[in-house]
Amino acid sequence: MAHIHLCWELGGGLGHAVRLKGLALELQRRGHRVSLSLRELVHTHTVLRDLDLPKLQAPVWMHKTEGLPAEQASMAEILLSCGYLVPDALDGLVTGWRSIFSTLQPDYVVGDYAPSAAIAARTLGLRMAMLGIGFFMPPAGVALPSLRPWEQIAPDRLRATEARLLDSVNRVLALHGAAPVRWASDVLNADLPLMCSWPELDHYERPEDALPHWYGPEFSAPNGVAPAWPPGDGPRVFCYVRHAQPGAHEMLRALVEEGCAVLCYMPEVAAGMAPPVVHASIVYSKGPVALHDALPACAFSVNYGNHATVAQSLMHGVPCLMLPAQLEQFLMSRRVERLGAGINASALPRPVNWRAVVRRMLDDTSLRTGAATFQKRYGAVPLDQRDALLADAIESDLRRP
């Protein structure tokens, strides 16, 4: 059996760890040796506590990059802000990954938003699969598209930033004796891209036939905290938001004022921070909630446009009120709103009347109809087979001559 190393480098939220956990369990079941490098070891600890394998700290960019546009227009600009602007800085990250791979000696690498790991794998002749969602797995074999399609982004800007990115990447590859790449997507997709999403939730809005297989989201593996709802017979609402999320505190107050029974997972509160709104109708979970048990009782869910919570909500026919704080989340929220299955709060006129928004989520039957349409298509999909299909693809790639 093979030693397969799973790694996560960029991006926040628990979705990355959840995807890797499900795959790790399946690979272990098949007899493979598995190890992990994670961007974040603390908030993921509860989710991964029962995963008995080595968990290492991933090399991550810890600095602020100056001189780039405040509003990033493409994945190239995002990566330039994460250590790719200067080849020597990127080489620091790549050297960290090379050290991990050289020490652990894996036979194969699987990444989740881990482009620097992909560069390091190339320099060592290691094949690598990349699994994840559309945002960080752009269309292959073409220039990186704009991530702001509602704006007129100058084509010269997109070309220049990708050229700068490729210059850094190829200089580092050359430093370690590896062949250059033609497209930035070659790094972001690695040797074997495994799309863990569905076409309706693709940030790049690719047609269904653009990929040979859509594996679907991962949310079956973690052992979350059992839902503990507050007393009362008000409509139940599950919230997964962060303390600094724009509008989160106002939204919680509006839920209380509209008589909702709220179960809220706020990581900062779970870690010991004082709750932003204290009321008998709000229970703050001490850890990530088992959504499979919580969502069927919900009138709607509140989240920040994160792929995993959105997908699981819609799978249960539950519409979403989304409070995105950054571009990836905004794109997802925009997609769901266009499906007619939720409200993108960041697109609402300011100041937001949060009580009116909550009331619309409760009263607008079209939102539940939109979520039910999604549920009808995907609610019966056997997601317990998803990790087996991913492992099949990885094992097939492992057998390549």
Helices vs. strands in the chain: H and E counts, helices first: 15, 12
pLDDT at position 217, please?
87
pLDDT confidence of residue 223: 60
pLDDT of 219 reads 67
Cα–Cα distance for residue pair 37/389, rounded to 1 Å:
22
All domains of the chain in start order, with CATH? 3-216+383-398 (3.40.50.2000), 236-378 (3.40.50.2000)
Torsions phi, psi of 364, nearest 5?
A: -80, 100
- Contact by Cβ (8 Å): 150, 173: no
Per-residue tens of pLDDT for the chain, all 401 residues? 999 999 999 998 778 998 999 999 999 999 999 999 999 999 888 889 889 999 999 999 999 888 888 899 999 999 999 999 999 999 999 999 999 999 999 999 999 999 999 999 999 999 999 999 999 999 999 999 999 999 999 999 999 999 999 999 999 999 999 999 999 999 999 999 999 999 999 999 999 999 989 999 876 544 678 999 999 999 999 999 999 999 999 999 999 999 999 999 999 999 999 999 999 999 999 988 999 899 999 999 999 999 989 999 999 999 999 999 999 999 999 999 999 999 999 999 999 999 999 999 999 999 999 999 999 998 777 767 889 999 999 999 999 88
Shortest CA distance to 233 belongs to which of 290, 299, 317? 299
Q: How many CB atoms lie within 10 A of CB 62?
A: 6
Distance in angstroms (rounded) separating the CA atoms of residues 44 and 354:
31
> 3-class DSSP state for residue 236?
strand
- Residue 44 pLDDT: 87
CA dihedral 156, 157, 161, 166 (to 10 degrees): -20
E strands present in 124-215: 128-132, 192-195
Rounded to whole angstroms, the Cα distance separating 296 from 309 reads 13
What is the distance between the alpha carbons of residues 222 and 388, in angstroms, rounded to a whole number?
A: 16
CB 42 within 8 A of CB 287: no
